[in-house]
Structure 1
Amino acid sequence: MEHESLFNATDVKWMQGDEEYGDIVMSTRIRLARNIQHFRFPRAFSEDEAFKIDQLISSALLDSDELDQTFEHFDMSRMPILQKNVLVEKHLISPQLAHKERTGSVLIARDESVSVMINEEDHIRIQCMEPGLNLEKAYFNADTIDRCLEEEVPYAFDSEFGYMTSCPTNTGTGMRASVMMHLPALMMTEQIEQIISMMPRLGMVVRGIYGEGTSAVGNYFQISNQVTLGKSEEEILTDLQSIAEQIVQREVESRRALLEHASVVIHDRVSRALGTLRYAQFITSDEAANCLSNVRLGIDLGLIDSIPTAILNKCMLIIQPGFLQQYVGTMLKPNERDIHRASLLRTLLTDNHLHEKGDDSYDV
């Protein structure tokens, strides 16, 4: 993997969706939290311990002959802030790891479907992402890497409580399974709050686009398991699959209702959003994300001519502050970002550009 490709490419595998749920379920993620025996947790360890942990985990994966993936190691202490932000926006690292000045690092697979964060909240955070609703595949990939590591490093494990983690809520399986869903119709019909409020009773939680503590930008929500202790990995996956499918059905029904009872209003909303993206001279990331959400809904409902999914996904990434500044090559003030963002969107969404091929970087 070349660094330039990682930080510039906008053709991200996990954003491609799938045939069955692609317009509603953008991606699936499995995250496994693990710690190594005889080392203090990251909140209390020394820099020497952190270095030894990094060496153990990196060697186990970089030298493995059992894995299909090829990894590259990135040290957070040596990475410019813009590149850290790009990795957060690609969901390859957490905001918490990006803010670490010293002890953190990450191993990223060539196709960006796997990342292993080292010395974040726990010693190891294995993260596997798949497009669409593919919980079993994502879990299989995460479990494969987990088994490979466990052969090389002894995990902190208790026969009664399971995997020991820094945060008690992760103790047990140490697994967080999540699906990222695009739910504009449930937002418009004001049903989303009801869904969010009922999730804890089902052992689930709803978060924003970048996980805990973030907002639902562009009508994207992450639904994930809240309980890791007392349930097996298989039970967690089955429950989340069922809940995700039910939410998909409610979104589909809400879209049909909007078409039936408010088609003119929805068509106007979609058209205004597309017009803003194509002609605005100044646009914030939140406004751009909401407009792109409306355009995606309009395409799914057949209200406007189709724009390639690759272009929409590229727009979703490139409007983010980190991507935008990485493209420009320098830090920008907020108003400067808004001007550059509008310019890039105008270029990406013109008729001529929509028909170009090989559009997998931000070379617009």
Structure 2
Amino acid sequence: MKNEGPEAEIVISSRVRIARNLSHHPFPLLATNQQAKDVMEQLTNVSQSGRLAALGSFETITLSDLTELEKRVLVEKHLISPNLANESRCGAVILSDDESVSIMINEEDHLRIQCLYPGFQIQEAWTLASGIDDIFEEAADYAFDEKRGYLTTCPTNVGTGIRASVMMHLPALVLTNQINRILSAVTQVGLAVRGLYGEGSEALGNLFQVSNQITLGQSEDEIIDNLYGVARQIIEHEKAARSRLLQESKLRIEDRVKRSYGILCHAMIMDSKESAQRLSDVRLGTDLGILQDVTPQMLNELLVMTQPGFLQQAFNEKMSPEQRDYRRAELIRKQLRGETDHGGARI
């Protein structure tokens, strides 16, 4: 979230996740505690191999050693799934030091390799994820069928086992009432559109996650290329919509952006939905050159910092919803004013 990649004014991040299971082992939903423990030991041993270490420094975290709050923060940072946080029996996550690589063990599947890049770098994320997958496949016997491909717990992942996605900020398409038409066209070419936290989540703050739906019948490269091509078209539509807003409604956009900025700088209470929308307005203003003092990186960080789990960790206190709204407003005010003392927590 602190780094900036290509097309960063529109694409927040690119992610590739690969689902794999081990042959001759029950899938996690049917495994006993001992069987799940055996899988965890086998996969963590692979993670300590020299080949993976060559990619950087990695830390193995056992989920049972974490508090519920610590697990929630990992979910909010997109480093583990809600499913792994809720079902952490013999579960673990292997994180790279920069948190661009997250390898989940005993989630819905035995192994889920995730690579997360800033900006529009879906092909780079796939290259890294594929390389890590090769390391594990050399040391572990994957559940694989010649006809169906890689076998997974959920039938929708069978085949390549790949979920690739780009997180996009599309406020201009929303403001110009084009978003429904664009997203309808996206779903017709085999892609899905979800909110910030994936399936079942709301698209708060004009953030949309575009990902592949099809994992069977296409090659890995075809899946990545299709997503890349569609995402590129969405980027161009968003850019055109932003130009149109500046040409036809510049004063209204400036007013909207500066009102949201003023509220964020002075509000005493802020719920998560309002903060997401206000931050979206400010981000648009930054990208259009209306605001000069706010960086995209700061706004990216606030996406995480304003989530319930992070707030409680940052201020080291358990909070009611009302207390979180107060602390959220306080944190945003301090961040926008350059006062970085928010409990010593880090992104």
Structure 1 residue runs of 4+, over 4 Å off?
none
SS at match of 2:210: strand
SS at match of 1:149: helix
For 1:243-262, what aligned pairs fall within 5 Å after superposition?
A: 243-262=230-249
SS at match of 1:254: helix
Alignment partners' CA distance in 2, 1:323 and 1:174: 31
Report the counterpart of residue 215 of structure 1 in structure 2.
Answer: 202
The match for 1:44 among 20, 30, 33 is 30
In the TM superposition, residue 200 of structure 1 has moved relative to its aligned partner by 2.5
1:17·1:23 contact (CA, 8 Å) conserved in 2? no
The match for 2:70 among 44, 68, 83 is 83
2:9·2:296 contact (CA, 8 Å) conserved in 1? no
Aligned partner letter, 1:282: I
Are residue 175 (structure 1) and residue 162 (structure 2) matched? Answer: yes
Alignment partners' CA distance in 1, 2:280 and 2:190: 28
For 1:333-348, what aligned pairs fall within 5 Å after superposition?
A: 333-348=320-335
Are residue 225 (structure 1) and residue 217 (structure 2) matched? Answer: no
Alignment partners' CA distance in 1, 2:182 and 2:297: 30
Count of residue pairs brought into register by the alignment: 344
Report the counterpart of residue 309 of structure 2 in structure 1.
Answer: 322
In the TM superposition, residue 226 of structure 1 has moved relative to its aligned partner by 0.5
SS at match of 2:301: helix
Are residue 298 (structure 1) and residue 285 (structure 2) matched? Answer: yes
1:35·1:122 contact (CA, 8 Å) conserved in 2? yes
Structure 1 unaligned residues grouped into runs of 5+? 1-11
1:33·1:174 contact (CA, 8 Å) conserved in 2? yes
1:17·1:27 contact (CA, 8 Å) conserved in 2? no
Are residue 60 (structure 1) and residue 46 (structure 2) matched? Answer: yes
Report the counterpart of residue 100 of structure 2 in structure 1.
Answer: 113
Are residue 165 (structure 1) and residue 152 (structure 2) matched? Answer: yes
1:118·1:125 contact (CA, 8 Å) conserved in 2? yes
**Change in CA separation of 1:124 and 1:217 when aligned onto 2, cut-off 3 Å:** same
1:62·1:70 contact (CA, 8 Å) conserved in 2? no
In the TM superposition, residue 210 of structure 1 has moved relative to its aligned partner by 1.1
1:121·1:166 contact (CA, 8 Å) conserved in 2? yes
**Cα deviation digits, residues 106-156 of structure 1 (max 9, x gap):** 111111000011111111000001111112211111111111111111000
Q: Sequence identity of aligned pairs in percent?
A: 45
In the TM superposition, residue 101 of structure 1 has moved relative to its aligned partner by 4.2
1:122·1:166 contact (CA, 8 Å) conserved in 2? yes
SS at match of 1:296: helix
SS at match of 2:139: coil
Instruction: Answer with 142-151 or 95-104: which moved more.
Output: 95-104
Are residue 23 (structure 1) and residue 9 (structure 2) matched? Answer: yes
2:157·2:215 contact (CA, 8 Å) conserved in 1? yes
Alignment partners' CA distance in 2, 1:249 and 1:299: 18
Alignment partners' CA distance in 2, 1:290 and 1:269: 11
In the TM superposition, residue 328 of structure 1 has moved relative to its aligned partner by 1.1
Alignment partners' CA distance in 1, 2:300 and 2:121: 19
Report the counterpart of residue 91 of structure 2 in structure 1.
Answer: 104
2:286·2:296 contact (CA, 8 Å) conserved in 1? no
Alignment partners' CA distance in 2, 1:185 and 1:244: 15
**Change in CA separation of 1:311 and 1:73 when aligned onto 2, cut-off 3 Å:** same
Alignment partners' CA distance in 2, 1:238 and 1:212: 22
Alignment partners' CA distance in 2, 1:194 and 1:81: 40
The match for 1:35 among 6, 21, 31 is 21
Aligned partner letter, 1:338: D
Alignment partners' CA distance in 2, 1:89 and 1:101: 16
Aligned partner letter, 1:73: T
**Cα deviation digits, residues 155-188 of structure 1 (max 9, x gap):** 0001111000011111111001111101011111
RMSD value, Cα: 1.7
